[in-house]
Amino acid sequence: RPQMEEGAGASALRPAVCRAKGGAPGFKAAILGAAGGIGQPLSLLMKMNPLLSVLHLYDVVNTPGVTADISHMDTSTVVRGFLGAQQLDAALTGMDLVIIPAGLPRKPGMTRDDLFNKNAGIVRTLCEGVARCCPYAIVNLISNPVNSTVPIAAEVFKKAGTYDPKRLLGVTTLDVARANTFVAEVLGVDPRDVNVPVVGGHAGVTILPLLSQITPPSSFTQDEIKYLTDRIQNGGTEVVEAKAGSGSATLSMAFAAAKFADACLRAMRGEAGIVECSYVASEVTELPFFATKVRLGRGGAEEILPLGPLNDFERAGLEAAKKELRESIQKGIAFMSK
């Protein structure tokens, strides 16, 4: 199949590159799983990002329509669509940033780990493509179960000899967005003024909000701490149940993924002092992967920040999180050693 390109008629007359931004060239990003529930709104938001000059939309279904649609937005980013496995390499070649929301979402009654059997193979195939075609790209991995898919991606890159732990980032921004929202509701303030560090991983008890470290510094009653921790840990399930079988969080996730990708792009451009929570290779605990605040830079997660002081409630939460995380990480690594 031919590659689809924005304004194919016009680009036959003048190459697409001439129609990209007039100023300095921007970054090139690919979204893998671009036709999905997250992929479509994320494609829309990334088409609006002024730091991107090129956006590649890849999926195994429906990219012609999504690409045609998104490409009519009058922003300067050039959009190209790629459909099916035979176009994966073309989608990835030359990319600086690869965002991966490909794979099955949960239905009510399922855990994220129930997605492992389907999504592990999808993530492996896509990351093999990254290793082949854009080994220096920064990867933002969204596909669940993130606690296992990030270790899978790391093993793929190790096998290919391209692994740089700084460039592989599991996206946990939605946990932070939820924590900010729910805490703001309790405090009666604007969520944009709240920042809650969320550490650990991205499933149930592994999602550990550090309410003792929030900005602005605030204190909570024991009941508030229990309510907030529970709601943040089960925010994904709240959406899955409300959607009643039609999927999991897509719109808030696209918002969170676009925010995180923008933070990565600004850091790649050289902006200093960008700190976000992300699930990365880490020595903060005895586990090989852990989500904490990380300082982003040109090369990805350039500094993993420490956990900071925890109270008794958070220390107990940390032990529960590590117990589950250890198994999820092991499961991912074992999948790749088969």
DSSP code per residue over 229-245 = HHHHHTHHHHHHHHHTT
**What residue has token string 């024991």?**
222
Residue 239 as a binder of ligand LMR (CB under 6 A): the answer is yes
Q: By CB under 6 A, what part of segment 197-216 binds ligand NAD?
A: 202
Q: Does 56 bind ligand LMR (CB under 6 A)?
A: no
Looking only at the bridges linking them, the beta strands covering 289-297 and 274-281 are antiparallel
The helix (H) or strand (E) run that includes residue 99 is strand 97-100
Binding-site member from 49, 53, 67, 144 for ligand NAD (CB under 6 A): 144
103 touches 123 (CB < 8 A): yes
Q: Which of 30, 28, 289, 258 is nearest to 169 (CA)?
A: 289
What is the Cα gyration radius of the chain? Answer: 20
Stretch near ligand NAD under the rule CB under 6 A, chosen from 8-16, 96-104, 185-193, 326-334: 96-104
Cβ proximity to ligand LMR: between 91 and 123 the closer is 123
Between CA 235 and CA 179 the distance in angstroms is 9
If phi > 0 it is left, if psi is from -120 to 50 it is alpha, else beta; for residue 108 that is: beta
Q: What is the pattern of x (binds ligand NAD, CB under 6 A) and - over residues 161-200?
A: ----------x--x--------------------------
56 included as an active-site residue: no
From residue 75 to residue 114, the character string flagging contacts with ligand LMR as x (rule: CB under 6 A) and all else as - is ------------------------------xx-----x--
Segment near ligand NAD (CB under 6 A); pick from 3-11, 27-35, 47-55, 193-201: 27-35
- Per partner kind, with CB cut-offs from 5 to 8 A, the member of ligand NAD, ligand LMR, none near residue 240 is ligand LMR
Give the shortest CB-155-to-ligand LMR separation in angstroms: 21
Query: Which position among 28, 56, 202, 322 bears the catalytic label?
Result: 202
Question: Helical H runs in 2-62?
Answer: 8-13, 16-19, 39-47
Residues that bind ligand LMR (CB under 6 A): 105-106, 112, 144, 174, 202, 236, 239-240, 248-249
- Catalytic positions, written as ranges: 202
